[in-house]
Amino acid sequence: MRKDFYPALETAMHHALEYLRTVDERQVGASASLETLRQRLCKDWNHDPIPAESVVRDLVKDTEGGLNNSASARFYAWVMGGSLPSALAADWLTSTWDQNAGLYSVSPASAIVEEAVGSWLKELFRLPGSSSFALVTGCQMAHTTCLAAARTWLLRRQGWDVERQGMSGSPQIRVFCGNRHASIDRTLRMLGFGDQSVTQLRVDGGGALDPSEFEAVLRALDGQPAMVLLQAGDVNTGSFDDFEALIPIARQYGAWVHVDGAFGMWAAASPRFERLVRGMDRAHSWATDGHKWLNVPYDCGYAFVAEADAHRASMSYHASYLTRQDAARDPMDWNPEFSRRARGFASYAALRELGRSGVQELVERCCDCAAQLVAGLGALEGVKVMSAPIINQGLVTFLDPSGALSNEWNDQVIAEIAAEGTSFFSGTTTRDGHRAMRISVSNWQTGPDDVSKTLAGVERVLIRMRLQGGKGGQAEPEMLGQSI
Ligand SMILES: Cc1ncc(COP(=O)(O)O)c(C=O)c1O
């Protein structure tokens, strides 16, 4: 018997539209406790079927208060965008169509949409037109895709075929980086580079690589294969490495240069910020996200590789039952997954909805709001600016009632801001060990009104805490989290 989709989907659509209509009126951060969520959701598994519509209704009811409302314009935690209307709609259709986007022959339109997205993004980031690309789950897997290609390319030049011979006994590849996101370390682990391969280079106060020792370190390699991992946008400060200075040096010594541009690469869309990524096009690979600043629903990242042959060699696999189409691009030749979601549709929709000028406007407005937020917070009593935004990220810390830096007080204020509900921020620890609050503006809806409401909310919290001598006590510390 064919089931009717209508009741379940209508229920979901009704909820989705209501949720989005009222998201600005909700407490931005999650409010339900761990116990409550476990009690509601970890039910005894039913033996008998439940009507689809009731399953959807229960899901909505049982998750109430357990969602961080990252669709809100006043969600500033981690680095998370919302979803543009067309991208969300395309994502619904992606699930409805349920395509397996591994091969052109399995889903022709999905494959061609990815071709369009890859080429538009290369244009936006000003990457070499001959670069290959892959649409992956996020920046973590974009790193993994890019550095798998790097491994192939570097070892080939040493006469080692890593696809056939593996890593055991291969020439050792050295890895050089300054500040890096945790996802870089995870990628290095997955690809068989131990922590011992990594040499940490000096960085300046904002986290950008100090070029002074760079050349000497690479010269000392004496022909040993190496990768240099640079950043377009440090996760805390948003700082950029100096690509114009560093990449030519790395190239001179034969090193592969990879850029982590999870959010910072989008600076390329704006004439105001484009100088930050100047020279980036000379790298060998680039990783960024769609689910952050482009405001595409999760899961969506992009990998780009200048050495297309090495990229393809590291990913491609042939089996007799996989129907190939020579004239088209098979995503499986470039992606780490086998079966995969047709995630290109949502990116395609977002890029068309915004157009070139819309991406620029989104980037510039987020940066302006971040600057206003940090300046406004810094003007409040008991707030110290730790890092003013370079793009859309900044850091402040909260001084305790005696005017001293206090990690405990800082985290308490972040928790109280979350409990007050107007906005939601996450915390981090700076390189010198101070706890701070991160300000990340990545949502397509955030505007000056949200900045004002946020500042008023934070001020209310600070006044109340000072009056109570620091005893707020409503928020759950587990919600604070680290930067991801
Ligand atoms: C600078 C940076 N690189 C990499 C990542 C990892 O990206 P993803 O979570 O999309 O895998 C993030 C954030 O999550 C990030 O901020």
CB 461 within 8 A of CB 417: yes
- In angstroms, the CA 322 to CA 328 distance is 14
- Between the alpha carbon of residue 103 and those of residues 16, 120, 320, 324, the distances in Å are 32, 21, 13, 7
Give every CB contact of residue 374 below 8 A, 6+ residues apart in sequence.
385, 388, 389, 394, 396, 439
pLDDT at 475: 43
- Mean local confidence (pLDDT), 78-83: 96
pLDDT at 1: 63
pLDDT at 480: 37
Q: Tens digit of pLDDT for each residue in 83-92?
A: 999 999 999 9
> How many whole angstroms from 43 Cα to the centroid of ligand 1?
33
CB 335 within 8 A of CB 315: yes
- In angstroms, the CA 303 to CA 222 distance is 30
Torsion of CA 83, 86, 87, 89, to 10 degrees: 100
In the structure, what pLDDT confidence band is assigned to residue 471 with cuts at 50, 70 and 90? low
Burial class of 189 by CB neighbour count within 10 A (0 to 12, 13 to 18, 19+): exposed
Burial class of 62 by CB neighbour count within 10 A (0 to 12, 13 to 18, 19+): middle
**Looking at the predicted structure, is the pLDDT value of residue 360 above 80?**
yes
Rounded mean pLDDT of the chain? 94
pLDDT at 384: 98
Beta bridge partner(s), residue 231: 260
Q: How many CB atoms lie within 10 A of CB 207?
A: 22
Q: Tens digit of pLDDT for each residue in 325-337?
A: 778 999 999 999 9
CB 365 within 8 A of CB 371: no
> How many whole angstroms from 139 Cα to the centroid of ligand 1?
5
pLDDT at 323: 78
Q: Which has the higher per-residue pLDDT, 432 or 427?
A: 427
262 lines ligand 1 (CB under 6 A): yes
**Looking at the predicted structure, is the pLDDT value of residue 21 above 60?**
yes
In the structure, what pLDDT confidence band is assigned to residue 119 with cuts at 50, 70 and 90? very high
**Looking at the predicted structure, is the pLDDT value of residue 254 above 90?**
yes
**Looking at the predicted structure, is the pLDDT value of residue 260 above 70?**
yes
181 lines ligand 1 (CB under 6 A): yes
**Looking at the predicted structure, is the pLDDT value of residue 56 above 70?**
yes
- In angstroms, the CA 134 to CA 148 distance is 13
Strands of 172-292 (E only): list them: 174-177, 198-200, 226-231, 256-260, 285-289
> How many whole angstroms from 191 Cα to the centroid of ligand 1?
18
Task: For residue 172, give both structure tokens.
Answer: 């050792």
Give the strands of the sheet with 256-260, arranged side by side. Answer: 132-136, 301-305, 285-289, 256-260, 226-231, 174-177, 198-200
Torsion of CA 75, 134, 154, 230, to 10 degrees: -20
Strands 393-398 and 435-440: what pairing?
Answer: antiparallel
Half-sphere exposure of 52 (CA within 13 A, CB side): 10
Domains of the chain are: 89-350 (3.40.640.10), 364-479 (3.90.1150.10)
Which atom belonging to ligand 1 lies closest to the Cα atom of 260?
Answer: 3
In the structure, what pLDDT confidence band is assigned to residue 483 with cuts at 50, 70 and 90? very low
In the structure, what pLDDT confidence band is assigned to residue 322 with cuts at 50, 70 and 90? confident
Give every CB contact of residue 245 below 8 A, 6+ residues apart in sequence.
211, 279
Look at the chain and count its residues: 484
- Mean local confidence (pLDDT), 358-386: 98
| Minimum CA distance residue for ligand 1 atom 14 | 484
**Looking at the predicted structure, is the pLDDT value of residue 318 above 90?**
no
Q: Tens digit of pLDDT for each residue in 212-244?
A: 889 999 999 999 999 999 999 999 999 999 999
Which atom belonging to ligand 1 lies closest to the Cα atom of 138?
Answer: 10
pLDDT at 310: 98
| Minimum CA distance residue for ligand 1 atom 15 | 262
- In angstroms, the CA 139 to CA 294 distance is 13
> How many whole angstroms from 472 Cα to the centroid of ligand 1?
32
| Minimum CA distance residue for ligand 1 atom 2 | 262
| Minimum CA distance residue for ligand 1 atom 7 | 139
296 lines ligand 1 (CB under 6 A): no
**Looking at the predicted structure, is the pLDDT value of residue 470 above 80?**
no
Which atom belonging to ligand 1 lies closest to the Cα atom of 264?
Answer: 1
> How many whole angstroms from 484 Cα to the centroid of ligand 1?
7
- Mean local confidence (pLDDT), 52-70: 97
140 lines ligand 1 (CB under 6 A): yes
In the structure, what pLDDT confidence band is assigned to residue 478 with cuts at 50, 70 and 90? very low
**Looking at the predicted structure, is the pLDDT value of residue 195 above 90?**
no
- In angstroms, the CA 308 to CA 306 distance is 6
**Looking at the predicted structure, is the pLDDT value of residue 162 above 90?**
yes
**Looking at the predicted structure, is the pLDDT value of residue 477 above 70?**
no
234 lines ligand 1 (CB under 6 A): no
Our mutation pick for probing the ligand 1 site, out of 79, 136, 139, counting the most ligand atoms within 8 A of Cβ, is 139
By percentage, how much of the chain surpasses pLDDT 90?
A: 90
> How many whole angstroms from 459 Cα to the centroid of ligand 1?
31
- Mean local confidence (pLDDT), 150-155: 98
289 lines ligand 1 (CB under 6 A): yes
Our mutation pick for probing the ligand 1 site, out of 177, 183, 484, counting the most ligand atoms within 8 A of Cβ, is 183
82 lines ligand 1 (CB under 6 A): no
Strands 132-136 and 301-305: what pairing?
Answer: antiparallel
pLDDT at 156: 98
pLDDT at 479: 39
Closest Cα partner for 347 from 81, 105, 121, 78?
121
**Looking at the predicted structure, is the pLDDT value of residue 481 above 80?**
no
198 SS3 class: strand
259 lines ligand 1 (CB under 6 A): no
| Minimum CA distance residue for ligand 1 atom 12 | 262
pLDDT at 290: 98
**Looking at the predicted structure, is the pLDDT value of residue 125 above 60?**
yes
